[in-house]
Structure 1
C-alpha cells in the first residue's frame, strides 16, 4: 500500500513542479493544444460523416423496411462513433507525446537536473528518437486496444461486466498511460519497451497509484491538456524511483553510477 500512496504523491509532485516553473508549464501546453485541435477536427468530420460511412458499409440492408433499417444503422452509427471516441482516448496521450517530444524531453531533463544534478541522455539524433518513440507507442497502443476489445466483450457478462470489468479496465489503462509517460525519461536512459514493461510490472502498486487517478483526469481531453506537463514531470520522478536514482547520487543509479541504465542491445535502438 505504501507504493500506491507514493505513486499518487508523484502525480501531485509533478503538478507542483510545473506550478513552480510556469514557463515550462506554458511550453508543455503547446503539444496538447495542437493535438486537441487536430482530434476535435477529426471527430467533427466523423460525426458529420458517420451516417455515410455506415450506409456505405451496409449495402445489404438497403432493402430493409422501416423501422428495422433505421434501428440497425442507428445502432451501428453509435458503435462506430463510440469506437472512434475510445480510440481517440487511448491514442491521445501517445500522439501528444510524439508531437511534443522535444518539449517534454526538455521538461523531463530539467526535472532530472533539479532532482539529481545531471540528466541522462540517449545520445541519439532527434529523428531516431522520434522513430523509436513512434514505433514503441504503436506497440503499446496495439496492446491497449486488444485489452479494450476483451473488456468490451466481458462487459456483456451480467453484474461482473458492470462492476469488476470497468475497475480492471481503469487499472490496465492506468498501467499503459504510466508506461507512455515514463517512456519520456526512460528512453533517455536507453531502456527499451520490453525492459520498461518489466520494470513497471515489478512495482505495480506504484504504477497504479500514479496511472489510475491520471486516467480518470484524462477522460476529459481538455483537462488532459492542462495536466500533461505536470504528468510528464511526475512520471520523471517516478522513473527515477524505478531506476533507484536519488538526489544524493547525482542522478546515477544505485548499482553502477553511469548515466545510461539497463541499456538494451544496440539492435533495439
Structure 2
C-alpha cells in the first residue's frame, strides 16, 4: 500500500524526466501552454483578482471579529486570545487555499477542453513511447465531439451528486466543517484524476463508468497521483505549465499501472524512443 502511494505521487516527476529526455514532445506543448495562458488570464482577471479583493475584506472582518471577542474576554481568560487569533488566521489560510484551488480547477476544465486536440496528440505520443503502440478507435469528429461534451456533463453530474451529500453532511454537529473540507478536496482530486487519466481511456472509447472504475481499481496509487496533480494545478501561474506536465504523467501512469491488466502488449512492439 505504501509503495503504491509513493509510486502514484512520483509520476509528475517521472513526466518531467520524460519531457527532459524527449525534445520531440515539446512540439505538442507549445499550443496547449498558449491556450492555458489565454484562459488563465481570463480566469485570473475575471475571478482571482476580484475574489482576492473580497478575501481582503473577509480577512479584515475576521480581524475585527477576533478583536471584538478578545475585548469582551475577562482578564483571567487572556489565554484564549491566542486561540481566537489562531482560528482567524486558520480561516484566512483556508479561504486563500480554496480560492487557489477553485481557479486552478477552472483553468484545468476550460484549458483541457479547449486544448483537447493538442493534449490528445501529446498523450498519444507518450503512449507510443511507453507501450510501443497507441490504441485509437476512430468514431468520427461529430461523435468524438459528442463524447467530449457527454464526458463533461457526466463529470458535472458526479460532482453535483457528491456535492449534495457533502452539503448534507456539513450540518452534522462537530464533524461537519472537517467533513466538508476534506470532502471538497477529495472530490476535486477525483475529477482532476479523471481528467489526467482520460487520454488513453478515451482513445479506446471506454464508457464513463469504466473510466471511473479504473481509478478505484488503481488505488491507492491513483489517489496519491490525483492529490499531487490537484496540488500542482492549485499553484497560480505555475499551473499554466503543470497541467501539460500532468497530462504526460497521467498517460505514463495509465500505461504502467492500468494497461498491463487491460490489454497485453503485442510481442512485436517495443517502446519507441522520443529523445531525438
Superposition TM-score, scaled by structure 1 size: 0.69
The one of 233, 238, 253 equivalent to 2:263 is 253
Q: CA deviation at 1:189?
A: 1.4
The one of 188, 196, 207 equivalent to 2:203 is 188
Q: Show the counterpart of 2:11.
A: 10
Unpaired runs of 5+ in structure 2? 55-97, 268-276
Q: Show the counterpart of 1:34.
A: 38
Question: Segments of 4+ in structure 1 off by > 6 A?
Answer: 44-47, 83-87
- Residues of 1 paired with 2:263 and 2:248: CA distance? 19
Q: Secondary structure at the match of 1:216?
A: helix
- Residues of 2 paired with 1:89 and 1:147: CA distance? 20
Q: CA deviation at 1:234?
A: 0.7
| Alpha-carbon RMSD | 3.4
> Are the counterparts in 1 of residues 105 and 234 from structure 2 also a CA contact under 8 Å?
no
> Are the counterparts in 2 of residues 244 and 254 from structure 1 also a CA contact under 8 Å?
yes
Q: 1:228 to 1:213 in 2, by over 3 A?
A: same
Q: CA deviation at 1:184?
A: 1.8
- How many pairs were matched up? 220
> Are the counterparts in 2 of residues 18 and 24 from structure 1 also a CA contact under 8 Å?
no
- Residues of 2 paired with 1:136 and 1:5: CA distance? 29
> Are the counterparts in 2 of residues 10 and 235 from structure 1 also a CA contact under 8 Å?
yes
Q: Secondary structure at the match of 1:135?
A: helix
Superposition TM-score, scaled by structure 2 size: 0.67
> Are the counterparts in 1 of residues 44 and 103 from structure 2 also a CA contact under 8 Å?
no
1:1-269 paired onto structure 2 within 5 Å = 1=1, 2-20=3-21, 21=23, 22-43=26-47, 89-152=104-167, 154-155=169-170, 157=172, 159-245=174-260, 253-254=263-264
- Residues of 2 paired with 1:19 and 1:34: CA distance? 25
- Residues of 2 paired with 1:206 and 1:17: CA distance? 19
> Are the counterparts in 2 of residues 137 and 180 from structure 1 also a CA contact under 8 Å?
no
Larger radius of gyration: 2
